[in-house]
Amino acid sequence: MKLYRAKDYNDMSRKAASIISAQILMKPNCVLGLATGSTPIGAYRQLVDWYAQGDLDFSEVTTVNLDEYKGLTRDNPQSYYYFMNEHLFSKVNICKSRTFLPDGTEPDSHTACENYNETLRAVGAADLQLLGLGHNGHIGFNEPGEYFPTETHCIDLSEQTIKANARFFQTMDEVPRQAYTMGIKTILSARKILIIVSGEDKADIVNTAFSGPVTPRVPASILQLHGNVTLVADEAALSKFQKG
C-alpha cells in the first residue's frame, strides 16, 4: 500500500484530486469508481475547479458509484444520486448517460442489485476506485459481518452507521435503514484503489484496518490484499497508525 501523508483535509483533498485527474489525463475514457460521504467533497471541488480552468475533460469518462440508500428518491437531497450531481456531475462536462449508481427507488432488492451487477459487468472493471472509510471500517456500505459480500447487495445499516448518517437528516425516522452497495469482490476488481481518510475520529479505524488482521469484521482490512492501493490521509487520521 502506498501512503501519502497530508497536512489536513484540504491537502488530502488536493492530493486525491491530483491522483484522480492524473487517471483522467492518462486515460480519458477511463472508468472511475466514485464515493460519497463528507470525505470526498473537497476532492470533487478541486476537480471542478480544474475543469473550470480548462485543465480537465470529463467528456469520455464513465463513473460507477459505490452505493445508494434504499427508498430515497433522486430528488431527495440526501440521496447519493443528488449528492453526485450537486458535487460533481452537474459541474463538469461528464455525459450523464455514462454515470451509474444503484437505483434506490427500486423497491425490490433483488431486482435493484441484479440490475446494478449487470451495469457493472457491462462497464467493466474500474480503472480507479475512490473510497472513503466508515468509522466501523465499512467501505461503500459493506458493513462489518461474518464474511465479505461479493457483489451488489442490500444491506441493513448498522446502528453506528445510522447514527453517523443522522447528522444529514432532520429526524432519526428519516435516516434510511437500508442501502444497496457494490460488493467487496467488485471493489477489489478495480485496477487501482484510492482510499481517503481525514480527521482524528478515524485514527483508530485507520490503524485497525491497515495494521490489523484481514477480517470481514473490518471490511476495509481486505484492501491489504489488493496490489495497488493508495491511502491518502491527513495527520489526524494517521496519528495512531502503527505501520505509518
Give contact residues for ligand GLP (rule: CB under 6 A): 35-39, 66-67, 132-134, 140-141, 161
136 noted as active-site residue: yes
The phi and psi torsions of 232 (rounded to 5 degrees) equal: -115, 115
Q: What is the 3-state secondary structure (H, E, C) of 84-152?
A: HHHHCHHHCCCCHHHEECCCCCCCCHHHHHHHHHHHHHHHCCCCEEEECCCCCCCECCECCCCCCCCCC
Which cell is 56 given? Answer: 480537465
Grouping H, G, I as helix, E, B as strand and the rest as coil, residue 221 is: helix
75 noted as active-site residue: no
Grouping H, G, I as helix, E, B as strand and the rest as coil, residue 229 is: strand
CB of 162 or CB of 214, closer to ligand GLP: 162
CB of 199 to ligand GLP, least distance (A): 8
Give the burial class of 234: count Cβ atoms within 10 A of its Cβ; 0-12 exposed, 13-18 middle, 19 or more buried: buried
Angle at 32 between CA 216 and CA 112, to 5 degrees: 60
CB of 53 to ligand GLP, least distance (A): 26
Which cell is 83 given? Answer: 449528492
Give the residue nearest to ligand GLP (CB): 132
138 noted as active-site residue: yes
The alpha carbon of 96 is separated from its chain's Cα centroid by a whole number of angstroms, namely: 19
Catalytic residue among 65, 103, 106, 138: 138
Catalytic residue among 136, 153, 207, 234: 136
CB of 148 to ligand GLP, least distance (A): 16
CB of 55 to ligand GLP, least distance (A): 26
86 noted as active-site residue: no
Q: Give the chain's count of helices (H) and strands (E).
A: 8, 10
Q: Which residues does 4 contact at the CB level (< 8 Å), separation at least 6? A: 15, 230, 231, 232, 233
CB of 27 or CB of 209, closer to ligand GLP: 209
CB of 78 or CB of 215, closer to ligand GLP: 78
CB of 14 or CB of 27, closer to ligand GLP: 14
Catalytic residue among 103, 106, 143, 234: 143
CB of 119 to ligand GLP, least distance (A): 18
CB of 27 or CB of 45, closer to ligand GLP: 45
Secondary structure element (H or E) that encloses residue 163, with its range? helix 159-165
Separation between Cα atoms, residue 173 and residue 197, nearest integer Å: 28
- The catalytic site residues sit at 67, 136, 138, 143
